[in-house]
Amino acid sequence: MVPKRLRHGSLSRTIAAVFFTMLLTPLTLLQRSPNLIGRLFFLVCMAVFFSGCAQTEKQADQSHLYWPKPPDPPRFIYTTTLRSEDSIRALTNEERFRIAVTGNNLKTRRILAKPFGVAAGNGLVVVTDSIRKMGFIFNLRRKRLYPFGNVGKKGLLTKPLGVALDRNGQVYVVDGKARKVFVYDAVGMFLREFADPSDLDRPVGVAVSMDGARVYVVDAGGIDSERHRVVVYDQKGSRLSVIGKRGVGDGEFNLPTQVAVAPDKTLYVLDGGNFRVQAFTPQGKFLRAWGENGRNFGNFARPRGLAIDADGYVYVSDAAFRNVQVFTPEGQLLLAIGGEGLQDKPGQFALPAGLAVDERGHVYIVDQLFAKVDVLRRLSEGETGQVVAARKAKAIGTKIK
């Protein structure tokens, strides 16, 4: 969890105003003023620091963002937002001290211009940016950011859109302008490319099977094209088969946008123009479909992103609803997470797009207008029970007062 850093009382601000201009850290104060007064100042600053941390932790417990909203039991919680390397790197002692005595968040740099796709797994989060014509690999374990696709003679991206990760940490990016798939390693070094541009009209999405043997590329076709379909390649880039064609029947597509592979190997395709999700076997045999155009829960208006979690639940982002709807594998709506926001705030979206879920239950939601990736986490049953119990205890305490 990354708690919000909250404001402190007037005493903290007063002490900070007196002493913070003199020093960068309490240690600096001690070094500059080794006499008794300096040591007293040091102890006061440290007291402010630790009381501030305690206040922050205590108040943060009261300010979590959960979905769904009360009185329903919570199932998801907001954790953080990714914008740049500042979002994942560890804070220095100086930065922690600044936050403690001032109560203000540090400014986070923004490197994303118009993010589109996102993929996540094994400590990596990969984001494509169609305006900057490159991608970014957030390595959460190393707390490092690796840009890729913008330098060198090979692997240069011109319009990166969908992105996927395989079990070995290789990154697959579909380029809408080049009409190819580019493959990079876990630090962004170019490995290979495949797909004959003549095979694809308008590639927008990509997914990789669990064993890495099949790569599925969504070809949205376009208004004047009949090639609305999913093209299947092997790991080396040889074309194996084609799933679907333009139409409204079972197994047919109209402007498909994304594709995802479930743990049971079921292939899901977001059929945007037909406002539905379709499910197939790995070989492309139609299984089922659900969804329709509308403004009610469970409907689709402008579906953009698709992801599957470890339990097979299906997540769909919608740019019109400005949220993410969660379905069972059979298409039953469970809940919606996130919501519309006119301001760039946690869990609020103006133009949601790409979507991913990692093996730990973290949900990554791209917002193109706010140029961010919000991270939510699915709660365990135990965590849900704790929150419900805390709410009941608080309600009882309020009634007693």
**Torsion, Cα of 293, 296, 299, 300 (10° steps):** 70
**Do residues 216 and 261 lie in contact, with contact meaning Cβ atoms separated by under 8 Å?**
yes
On the question of pLDDT at 113 being above 60, the answer is yes
Q: How far apart are CA 212 and CA 206, in angstroms?
A: 12
| Model confidence band, residue 121 (pLDDT cutoffs 50, 70, 90) | very high
| Model confidence band, residue 95 (pLDDT cutoffs 50, 70, 90) | confident
Average pLDDT of the segment spanning 87-113: 77
Write out the two tokens for 235: 């790991």
Q: How far apart are CA 179 and CA 221, in angstroms?
A: 11
107 contact partners, CB below 8 Å, separation of at least 6: none
Average pLDDT of the segment spanning 130-153: 96
Q: How far apart are CA 142 and CA 153, in angstroms?
A: 27
φ, ψ (nearest 5 deg) of residue 32:
-80, -30
pLDDT digit string, tens, across residues 279-336? 999 999 999 999 999 999 999 999 999 999 999 999 999 999 999 999 999 999 999 9
For residue 138, give the 3-state DSSP assignment: strand
Whole-number percent of the chain with pLDDT over 70:
82
User: What is the reported pTM?
Assistant: 0.83
| Model confidence band, residue 8 (pLDDT cutoffs 50, 70, 90) | very low
Span of 90-94, 219-223, 296-300, 373-377 with lowest mean pLDDT: 90-94
Angle ∠(212,217,222) on CA atoms, nearest 5: 175
Q: How far apart are CA 324 and CA 171, in angstroms?
A: 24
Q: Using CB atoms within 10 Å of the CB of residue 224, give its burial: 0 to 12 exposed, 13 to 18 middle, 19+ buried.
A: exposed
Q: What is the pLDDT of residue 105?
A: 61
Q: What is the pLDDT of residue 94?
A: 83
Q: Answer with the residue of higher pLDDT: 352 or 18.
A: 352
pLDDT digit string, tens, across residues 158-174? 999 999 999 999 999 99
Q: How far apart are CA 232 and CA 238, in angstroms?
A: 9
| Model confidence band, residue 54 (pLDDT cutoffs 50, 70, 90) | very low
The average confidence (pLDDT) of the chain is 86
Angle ∠(44,49,50) on CA atoms, nearest 5: 100
**Do residues 270 and 318 lie in contact, with contact meaning Cβ atoms separated by under 8 Å?**
no
